[in-house]
Amino acid sequence: MQNLFFVAVATGIFSGTTLSATAQPSVNLEKMSAAAPVKKSQKFIDGIEIKAGTVAAMQTAVVKPAAASTLTVKEEAEVSAIENCTSLQFKYALLLDMDVENITNKILFDEIEKWLDTRYRYGGTTERGIDCSAYTGTLLADVYGLNVSRTSRNQYDECEKIEREDLQQGDLVFFNTRRRGKGVSHVGLYLGNGYFTHAGSSTGVTISNLSDTYWSSKYIGGGRFTTSTSEQ
């Protein structure tokens, strides 16, 4: 009904006739036109001017669709991996200065998190205190299922020797921290990007970098275990 009414109004306007309703006086469009000429533009709200053709232009404007994703399949996979990372992964990504999606061995970092800040104790093997070789031996056993000898010297003797530039996560790194004498006296487990975790005599279980002046000067070499060398 409303549509028919508007059609009737329009027909009346363009034919020069007037429309009347029972309760409304007739309207003389010719007199209105003479008394109040139509302006080319009107101010709908203060400061906002609506000009002829504006509505038509708005109606015919083409809304451009959002640009399609330009990410490759690999990049989308990386984004998804980052979104699914845990707070622990973000923590160690910051500590090791690595991309969070490269912190993939959750078992390893859960184990490190459990031992982190445990005090050093020579001969110790528990969370009340642990020494360097007991710590690396525990990580190798609990994370990689490898049982190795108890002392750092024996671990060095029994491992496959690895060049520093070929170190991988899970390899061992060996040092001579004695003031006098030669040979291996300390061991840690390599994490990547130059970082390793170890039980230091003055720090307890911590994370250090091979590039640090002290550790760089004490470094002997790296080693790798692919099979167990002892039964525990």
pLDDT of residue 68: 59
- Is 198 part of the annotated catalytic residue set? yes
Q: Which residues pair with 51 in a beta bridge?
A: 41
Taking only the tens of pLDDT, the chain with its 232 residues reads 444 444 444 444 444 444 334 444 444 444 444 444 544 444 434 444 445 554 444 444 444 555 556 889 877 767 777 788 999 999 999 999 999 989 999 999 999 999 999 999 999 999 999 999 999 999 999 999 999 999 999 999 999 999 999 999 999 999 999 988 889 999 999 999 999 999 999 999 999 999 999 999 999 999 999 999 976 4
Q: Which residue, 175, 189, 169, is CA-closest to 221?
A: 175
- Is 132 part of the annotated catalytic residue set? yes
Q: Helices 87-95 and 106-115, interaxial angle, to 10°?
A: 80
Question: Which 8-state DSSP code applies to residue 96?
Answer: T
Question: Which 8-state DSSP code applies to residue 162?
Answer: E
Sign of CA pseudo-dihedral 68, 74, 75, 80: positive
pLDDT of residue 73: 82
Domains of the chain: 69-104 (no CATH), 105-224 (3.90.1720.10)
What does the radius of gyration of the chain's CA atoms come to, in whole angstroms? 40
pLDDT of residue 84: 85
Q: What is the pTM of this model?
A: 0.67
Contact, 121 vs 204, CB < 8 A? no
Would you state the structure tokens that stand for residue 184, as one six-digit string?
A: 């291996």
Among the listed residues 132, 159, 173, 210, the single catalytic one is 132
Q: Which residues pair with 143 in a beta bridge?
A: none
The Cβ of residue 205 has, within 10 Å, a number of other Cβ atoms equal to 21
Among the listed residues 96, 171, 196, 198, the single catalytic one is 198
The Cβ of residue 64 has, within 10 Å, a number of other Cβ atoms equal to 6
- Is 159 part of the annotated catalytic residue set? no
Q: How far lies 219's CA from each of 138, 162, 208, in Å?
A: 22, 13, 12
Among the listed residues 156, 186, 189, 191, the single catalytic one is 186
Q: How far lies 185's CA from each of 151, 159, 189, in Å?
A: 9, 15, 14
Sheet architecture: strand order including 172-175: 160-162, 219-224, 172-175, 186-192, 195-200, 204-209
